[in-house]
Structure 1
Amino acid sequence: MAVSQALLDILVCPKCKGELKITKKQDGLICNTCSLVYPIKDDIPVMLIDEAMTLDDYSRDQSKAN
């Protein structure tokens, strides 16, 4: 796993302070409340709202990759 469970347990969404879940491909952190996905680059979560993509855009990108 790119991001440790201990880190996941303390990270929250910077926008709403809600819970985050790791994506299936472990390339991002999902906030279901805000419908945002924060990318993980070089094993480091990028917790900037401006760097996040919408859950819809992330899903579209994933389906294009398959």
Structure 2
Amino acid sequence: MNTSSHADILVDPKMLNVLVCPKTGGPLTYNSDTKELISKKAKLAFPVREGVPIMLIDEAKPL
């Protein structure tokens, strides 16, 4: 994960173990470059804003 800037907020790995894609129920991975949670199965990227994952399908962007 990118820790070069104090503005970067890291996603807790424990949180990644608990969160699932709201569309598929599948696992998510964190992309620190884009600050998004990625659902490969749904082909969606969910934004993370100020360390808070936005898990709304309407807020996700297609991959």
TM range (shorter): 0.7 to 0.9
- 2:59 aligns to what? 51
The aligned length equals 55
Which is richer in helix? 1
> Once superposed, which parts of structure 1, at least 4 consecutive aligned residues long, lie more than 2 Å away?
none
- When normalised by structure 2's length, the TM-score is 0.81
Q: Structure 1 residue 9: deviation in Å?
A: 0.5
- When normalised by structure 1's length, the TM-score is 0.78
User: Aligned-residue CA RMSD in angstroms?
Assistant: 1.2
- Structure 2 runs not aligned, ≥5 long: 1-8
- Structure 1 runs not aligned, ≥5 long: 56-66
Q: Structure 1 residue 16: deviation in Å?
A: 0.5
